[in-house]
């Protein structure tokens, strides 16, 4: 737990500092979180760390979109969405946390679709269609009662 607390404090510090060139530091923290972060969420600190992780992924996406790097911006949306899927599928996950993940996934898919629709290349429209199909399949296959 100490590693998780230390990681969370570092993430908060960089996130709240609003440094314009914070992306490399934020990326390192996002790409190398403590292993326990993507396991069953058991404590309030763990829950907070996970929420910050998702927040910073979205922030990095915005930073890269602003820097005209749409592929990199989109990759952070995809990364966070895939981690939500992973968390929602853990058999030992708390039901309330599983619901949170599924709700967050619904919101993320909307953000990802909006992202695709604002891009100019036709490949982004194809990606948008693909996203809808995959999201529907995931929700039907793994969570038929949601």
Single pTM value for the model:
0.87
Q: Sign (positive/negative) of CA torsion 108, 43, 56, 37?
A: negative
Residue range 71-125, pLDDT digits in tens = 999 999 999 999 999 998 888 888 888 888 999 999 999 999 999 999 999 999 9
C-alpha distances (whole Å) from 100 to each of 51, 64, 86 are 11, 27, 13
CA distance 99 to 91: 13
Residue 141 above 50 pLDDT? yes
Residue range 17-56, pLDDT digits in tens = 776 678 888 999 999 999 889 888 888 999 999 999 999 9
How many beta carbons lie within 10 A of that of residue 38, not counting itself? 15
CA distance 125 to 87: 28
CA distance 84 to 87: 5
Contact 41, 50 (CB under 8 A): yes
pLDDT of residue 143: 56
């Amino acid at each position: 737990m100490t590693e998780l607390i230390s990681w969370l404090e570092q993430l908060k510090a960089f996130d709240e500092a609003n440094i314009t060139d914070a992306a490399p530091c934020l990326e390192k923290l996002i790409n190398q979180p403590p292993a326990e972060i993507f396991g069953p969420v058991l404590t309030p600190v763990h829950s907070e760390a996970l929420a910050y992780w998702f927040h910073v992924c979205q922030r990095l996406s915005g930073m890269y979109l602003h820097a005209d790097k749409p592929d990199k911006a989109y990759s952070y949306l995809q990364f966070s969405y895939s981690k939500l899927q992973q968390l929602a599928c853990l058999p030992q996950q708390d039901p309330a946390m599983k619901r949170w993940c599924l709700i967050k996934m619904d919101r993320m898919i909307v953000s990802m679709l909006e992202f695709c629709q604002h891009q100019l290349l036709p490949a982004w429209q194809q990606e948008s269609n693909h996203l809808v199909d995959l999201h529907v399949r995931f929700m039907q296959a793994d969570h038929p009662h949601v």
